[in-house]
Amino acid sequence: MATPPDQAYKDVIPLDFTSAKTLPDSYVWPESDDLYSGTDQQSIPVIDLMDPNATQLIIQACETWGVFQLINHGIPQKLVEDVESQTHRLFALPAEQKLKTLRTPGKVSTGYGNPPSQALLPRKLWQEGFTIMGSPADQAKVLWPNDHQGFCDIMDDYQKQARGLAEQLIRTIFIFLTIKVNWFDDPTMCQAALQLNSFPPCPDPARVLGLPPHTDSSLLTILHSRTEGLQVFKEGVGWITVQPNPESLIVNVGDLLHILSNGRFVSVFHRAAVVQKKHRISVAYFYWSPLDCTVSPLLSKNFADSKQVPKYRSVTSKEYHVLKAKHSRDTLSVVKI
């Protein structure tokens, strides 16, 4: 059954957090009892991209964790700091100004608001987001009619740098997987999005979620956040809080790379906890395969030659987007053979 138009827009519009003095009941989530509390320190791998063994370490991290912190990644630290500063600037705008760029309900679209998955969730999320695909100029002009160019220049530059890093990592992984594709010949083929997230201070942070447990639909996601809040799920261990490193970027495997590797690489479950009373910002760069190109374990020459049976059916990125919007965290099981 389709969501009524009025409800669809309600799902997209975030709470005006500046006026929230108490926690509304619709934002209260059940307590999680599987947060790791062992005495030995569990942490995701940290990999130096300049390390001669970086390729091997990246493959190991993809197989065992599905996520790692990357240092010496090549994106200038000043640019990362500028992106964070501009993101703070955006979310500091009055609610009525941000709502002028409200995203379209019911589908992946650019602009301000809650993620499309909000409509499928039993509780509200303590967050607000802003999605950029390509140039942000049209919406930036609405937000800052006379002062938008700095925001645009910085977001354009960061997207260019993040795309270069994503393609460098994916080329390395594809060589290991013996996958030969022409996806990188034309810079417009592969799809990407820059997601700016704001997790405002909360009067009762232990009872809310910024983002629910989920996997990403992407090939790879590159995340920047200098404040604690990201938690990843490790099988047999539980939820682990990632300790931020201001000089690193966090890279995680998405569903499409999990399919290409025939399940060898972990599409990691992760969530955004609101674990402090300070404002947290995160910047996520999602990188997908071309919309109409087939994603299949059989793209791997070694896998195809081995005559093994694929665990997942072939799917295009466009089809997977549609399935993800409908099935959310269960989408991989839908395409499993």
**Positions marked catalytic:** 280
Backbone angles phi, psi at 234, to 5 degrees: -110, 120
Strand boundaries in the chain, DSSP class E: 46-48, 67-71, 111-113, 128-132, 192-199, 209-214, 220-224, 230-234, 238-241, 249-253, 270-273, 280-287, 294-295, 315-316
Nearest-angstrom CA–CA distance, 66 and 253: 5
Q: 3-class SS at 127?
A: coil
In one-letter notation, the amino acid at residue 284 is: A
Q: Are 168 and 146 in contact (CB under 8 A)?
A: no
Check if the beta carbon of residue 280 is closer than 8 Å to that of residue 274. Answer: yes
CB-CB neighbours of 288 under 10 Å: 26
Main-chain dihedrals φ then ψ at residue 277, nearest 5 degrees: -100, 25
The answer for residues whose C-beta is within 8 angstroms of residue 18's C-beta and 6 or more apart is 95, 200
Give the containing element (helix H, strand E) for 198.
strand 192-199
Tell me whether strands 230-234 and 128-132 are parallel, antiparallel or unpaired. unpaired
**Residue 22 burial (C-beta neighbours within 10 Å; 0-12, 13-18, 19+):** exposed
Cα 143 to Cα 71, 95, 99, 164, distances in angstroms: 34, 11, 9, 28
- Show Cβ contacts of residue 127 under 8 Å, excluding neighbours closer than 6 positions: 14, 114, 197, 198, 199, 200, 210, 211, 272
